[in-house]
């Protein structure tokens, strides 16, 4: 991803990704369909990685591997509706040699619409977990939230 076109930004250790709810994101009643929150969060994570200097596509094309979700625990708190402007706030909370844990909140103003705990594991082309590239670990380390 070319970071010149990344719609997100870092505010301190948190990554903020703004999006608008379109008709295609909603169900018949005009409320965001539950699975689309995971799509919103995925876009935010990809944007965050690009802004942190992580080139996922290059790693995949070089045969190094890619991230895969091992676990996603999501809580829905309030409905988002057609036309709403949302912000996905992402925070790295734990870094391990082969994985990263990310807390994500989907916000409408000050209201938490949904939040999730995500565990992304770096996997080899074979699908087996492997260590993340050392350069990625170096870029992530200063972004890990160490508070409450």
Active site residues: 27
Contacts of 12 (CB under 8 A, 6+ apart): none
Q: Looking at residue 4, what DSSP letter applies?
A: G
Distance CA 43, CA 88 (A): 9
Task: List strands edge to edge, sheet with 9-11.
Answer: 9-11, 14-20, 85-96, 99-108, 111-123, 66-76
């Amino acid at each position: 991803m070319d970071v010149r076109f990344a719609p997100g930004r870092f505010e301190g250790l948190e990554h903020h990704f703004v999006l608008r709810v379109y008709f295609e994101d909603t169900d018949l009643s005009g409320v965001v369909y539950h699975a689309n929150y995971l799509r919103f969060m995925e876009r935010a994570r990809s944007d965050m990685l690009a802004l942190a200097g992580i080139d996922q596509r290059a790693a995949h094309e070089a045969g190094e591997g890619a991230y895969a979700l091992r676990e996603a625990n999501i809580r829905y708190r309030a409905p988002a509706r057609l036309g709403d402007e949302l912000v996905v706030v992402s925070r790295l909370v734990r870094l391990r040699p082969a994985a990263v844990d990310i807390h994500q909140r989907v916000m409408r103003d000050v209201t938490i619409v949904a939040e999730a705990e995500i565990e992304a594991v770096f996997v080899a082309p074979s699908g087996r977990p492997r260590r993340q590239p050392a350069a990625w670990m170096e870029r992530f380390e200063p972004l890990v939230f160490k508070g409450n």
